[in-house]
Amino acid sequence: MRTKIVAGNWKMNLSVQEGVQLVNELKTALTNEKNLPAVVVAPPYLHIDSVVNELKATSIKTAAQDCSANKNGAFTGEVSAAMLQTTGASYVIIGHSERRTYFKESNGLLLEKIKQALANKLTPIFCIGEVLAEREAGIHFGVIEKQLQEVVFTLTSDEFKNIVIAYEPVWAIGTGKTASPEQAQEIHAFIRTLIGKKYDNALAQATSILYGGSCNAQNAPTLFAQPDVDGGLIGGASLKVNDFVQIIKSF
Ligand code: PGA
């Protein structure tokens, strides 16, 4: 059975104190809850140490929102995967559309980041997805296939088995426009088929594929009910503890 995951991407929000308070409330709200998916929070780098510390007696895991493509050295402002590993972070988001768009991150660079993450035993949550114009032009399947081919499909199956995929249609991120459950299922099934063709069916069945883009407490139950949707990468709604808890409990 593949892992169900609900991950909260805080983006560049909350002070360190507010972040610690949020995870404190989260852990209280989830105490005694049974049969939950894996829960992950992705605060800014600066918060990670305090957040990991606050969560240490719980099963809630911490992710970074990015990592450097380089191992170490003279890269002012960068944070390496090795550094993240020493904080106790378990996951790292790589290739979020905001990184691709605002920071011009290419598929080649993202592959280097993934290699750094894997070398440091962090689980990459690799984000893919089409922009609105690509969907309207009907080329979204090709766009998604290329993002996979140029990055994670260059990995060996032994490496790929550590990858989590997040399908995030860019037109749905922060816009309030969610993909319909049918649209999400269609793409998730497509991604799983591609993984099966590239590697094998067992690996395809074992890969967690998350949906992201305006996922909230109202639409999460129908999205998560789709057979190929294994959870969510949640932005805005992960900043409100009650909403995030409701999403987590949607499985
Ligand atoms: P959103 O963001 O839930 O605020 O749309 C999702 C994401 O960017 O991961």
pLDDT for the residue numbered 1:
73
Model pLDDT, residue 251 = 87
The CA 80 to ligand 1 mean position distance, Å, reads: 24
Out of 98, 105, 130, 168, pick the active-site residue: 168
Establish how many alpha carbons lie within 13 A of residue 147's alpha carbon, considering only the half-sphere containing its beta carbon. Answer: 24
Q: Is the pLDDT assigned to residue 158 strictly greater than 80?
A: yes
Q: How far is the CA of 35 from the centre of ligand 1 (A)?
A: 25
Could you confirm whether 159 is annotated as catalytic?
no
> Residue 176's pLDDT is what?
86
Atom 2 of ligand 1, residue of closest alpha carbon: 235
The pTM of the full predicted model, rounded to 2 decimals, is 0.98
Q: What is the mean pLDDT of residues 228-245?
A: 98
User: Is there an atom of ligand 1 within 6 Å of 168 CB?
Assistant: yes
Whether 177 shows a pLDDT value over 90: the answer reads no
CA of 41 to the centre of ligand 1 (A): 13
Q: Tokens 């689980």 correspond to what residue?
A: 123
The tokens for 50 are 């305090």
Q: Which of 96, 98, 134, 188 does the annotation list as catalytic? A: 96
Element at 147 (helix H, strand E)? helix 140-150
Task: State in Å: Cα 73 to ligand 1 middle.
Answer: 32
Structure tokens belonging to residue 10: 């805080």
Please identify, by atom number, the ligand 1 atom nearest to the C-alpha of residue 98: 8
* Share above pLDDT 90 across residues of the chain, in percent, rounded to a whole number: 96
Please, what is the average pLDDT of the chain? 97
DSSP assignments along 40-52, one per residue: EEE--HHHHHHHH
How does DSSP classify residue 166? E
pLDDT-based confidence at residue 147 (cuts at 50, 70, 90): very high
Annotated catalytic residue 96: yes
